[in-house]
Copies of this chain bind each other. A is one copy, B any other.
Amino acid sequence: MRDVFIAGVGQTPITKDTESRGRSLGAAAVNAALTDAGVEPQRIGALYVGNMLSGILAQQQQLGGLIADYSGLAGIEAVTIEAACASGGAAIRMAYQAVAGGMHDVVAVCGVERMTHVDRDAVTRALASAADWELEGVCGESFLSLNATLMRAYMDKYGVTAERFAPFAITAHQNALTNPNALLRKPLDLATYMSSRIVMDPIRLFDVSPVCNGASAVVLAAPHVTTRLASRSKVRIAGSALATAPLALARRADLLDLTAVSSSTQQAMKQAGVVHDDIDLFEPHDAYTIMTALTLEAAGFARAGAGLEFADAARIGLHGELPLATFGGLKARGHPVGATGCYQIAEAFLQLMERAAANQVPNAEVALVQNIGGTGATVVTHVLTREN
């Protein structure tokens, strides 16, 4: 199979507005990515759209064809990829497969989501469709309650207090301050974190990523195309893997063991030929602070129960040993669910291209990016490297 490069990226600013249109957001991101890559629309072989909620909240399916049309790509191959909050990452993986396998030389990927044009109850209910509806949703479980179950189980098992999770959120807010596309550009300190309301015990408001709208796009290309583009990208997708686990927590052997994180991380890192020490930055799926802790353990950065050792601004800040959520992450950049995986890849690309400005991680050459659907049911992991 061929090497695959990221030729360019586009992001729309994340908002909580009620007026943006899905097709316009998607087209804006796609066109920004095409411009960034310096690629003509007629070179695009396919468009894969990552989206979770448009059918439920906006009565609009078939976004592939719709966004292709409004992006000036009418006629091309286009489909929607859905894997709950991992939809964006899964769409990137499908595009990687298309280019690596030789089906297309250039593929555009667009993650798009609108969540704030409906009331909060509708969003909560729609997000619960990522869980097992028969076993969890019908019992009244929501994404919040399932994550509260995980966080409570973790705190009980390892005897840790809620404030230990705070640095994950504080660092995300710090990084978002200088990201023009981030939703939450305000600093967070421990006192504010601890005094924020408990939305579902033990989860505080600042443990949770916000409901919002946004679109991000990525152009993937084969090496012979990439070298001729104005963007002169040297960012390669060196590893790509997608793994699953049962949706319902009750069907898992161990609540606190994210098996799909372990297996997809191992596969992607093995393909890329990198070890943990090689990784210069990690964009985890920090939808909840507990997910970051569990992810660091399952991904092999810490042993079980030791993920919170990374909850330390000195270790995970932009100049730390393992920078996390370098543009604010899901927590502070925002989490427009089906779009998130594409924002993550776009941000890691900017880091490896040394285009991250105030958010730049020094000497970033290897990035790990992980997008998760449900409470660990679908996990897409990519390793990006800068080639010399």
Contacts and interface: CB of A to CB of B under 8 A. Distances in A.
Contacts of A243: 75-77
Contact of A79 (B58, B59, B82, B125): B82
A364 interface: no
A65 B97 contact: no
Interface residues of A, number: 62
Nearest to A101: B101
- What is the total number of copies of this protein in its complex? 2
Nearest to A104: B97
B244 A69 contact: yes
Name A's interface SS.
Answer: mixed
A20 interface: no
Interface string A75-95: 111111111100000100110
A236 B60 CA distance: 35
A157 interface: no
A192 interface: no
Contacts of A53: 55
Interface in A106-143: 125-126, 128-130, 132-134, 137
Interface in A47-82: 52-53, 55-56, 58-62, 64-66, 68-69, 74-82
The 8 tightest CB contacts between A and B, nearest first, are: A101-B101, A65-B244, A62-B84, A61-B129, A80-B82, A77-B242, A65-B377, A59-B133
